[in-house]
A and B are shown apart, each in its own frame.
Chain A
Amino acid sequence: MEQVLSYIGENMEMVYFLLLAILLGVEVISNVPAILHTPLMSGANAIHGVVVVGAIIVMLQASPDNYLALSVGFLAVLVGTLNVIGGFVVTDRMLEMFKKKPKKS
Chain B
Amino acid sequence: MTLNILEISYLIASLTFILGLKMLSNPDSARKGNLIAAAGMLIAIIATITLYQDYDSGKLINYGLIFLGLIIGTVIGTIMAKKVQMTSMPQMVSFFNGMGGACAALIAIIEFQHHQHSTVTGFDGELLVMLLGLLIGSVSFSGSIIAYGKLEGKIQDKVLPLNQVISMVMLGAIVVLIVYQMVSGSDPLLFYVLLGIALVYGVLFVMPIGGADMPVVISLLNSFTGMAAAFGGFLYGNKAMLTGGILVGSAGTILTILMCKAMNRSLTNVLLGAFGGAAAGGAKSASGDQTVREINISDTAVLLSYSQSVVIVPGYGLAVAQAQHICHELEKLLEEKGVEVNYAIHPVAGRMPGHMNVLLAEADVPYERMQEMEEINSKFANTDVVVVIGANDVVNPAAKNDPSSPIYGMPILEVDQAKNVIILKRGMAAGYAGIENELFFYPKTRMLFGDAKATLQKLTAEVKEV
Contact = CB atoms under 8 A, between A and B. Distances in A.
B104 A51 contact: yes
B449 interface: no
Interface string A19-44: 00111111011111111111111111
A24 to B, nearest CB: 6
Which of A18, A25, A31 has most B Cβ within 10 Å?
A25
Contact of A99 (B18, B31, B37, B248): B31
Given A56-B45, A83-B100, A96 B70 contact: no
A77 B69 contact: yes
Given A48-B226, A64-B59, A83-B97, A73 B21 contact: no
Contacts of A4: 123
A37 B352 contact: yes
B20 A43 contact: yes
B328 to A, nearest CB: 11
Contacts of B100: 45, 48-49, 51, 79-80, 83, 87
A80 B110 contact: no
Interface stretch (B228-236, B299-307, B421-429): B228-236
B89 A88 contact: no
Given A42-B89, A48-B229, A97-B358, A85 B45 contact: no
A72 B110 contact: yes
Interface string A68-88: 111011111111111111111
Contacts of B45: 52-53, 56, 84
B107 A45 contact: no
A60 interface: yes
Nearest to A30: B254
A90 B24 contact: no
Contacts of B288: none
Interface residues of B, number: 117
A12 interface: no
Contact of A43 (B24, B84, B110): B24
B338 interface: no
B34 A92 contact: yes
Interface residues on A, range: 35 or more
User: Secondary structure at chain B's binding surface: helix, strand, loop or mixed?
Assistant: helix
Contact of A28 (B21, B249, B364): B21
A35 B93 CA distance: 17
Contact of A46 (B38, B61, B84): B38
A47 to B, nearest CB: 5
Interface stretch (B147-155, B238-246, B436-444): B238-246
A23 B251 CA distance: 9
A81 B69 contact: yes
Interface string B97-127: 1011011101101110110000000110100
A58 B54 CA distance: 11
A26 B78 CA distance: 30
Given A25-B246, A78-B69, A35 B370 contact: yes
Contacts of B24: 29, 32, 36, 39-40, 43-44, 91
B248 A25 contact: yes
B125 A90 contact: no
Contact of B89 (A3, A53, A90, A100): A90
Contacts of A44: 21, 24, 222, 226, 247-248, 251-252, 255
14 contacts: A25-B248, A25-B249, A31-B25, A43-B37, A48-B229, A53-B48, A54-B235, A60-B49, A72-B110, A76-B106, A77-B69, A79-B73, A90-B92, A94-B86
Given A34-B354, A78-B69, 4 more contacts: A29-B21, A49-B103, A51-B104, A83-B97
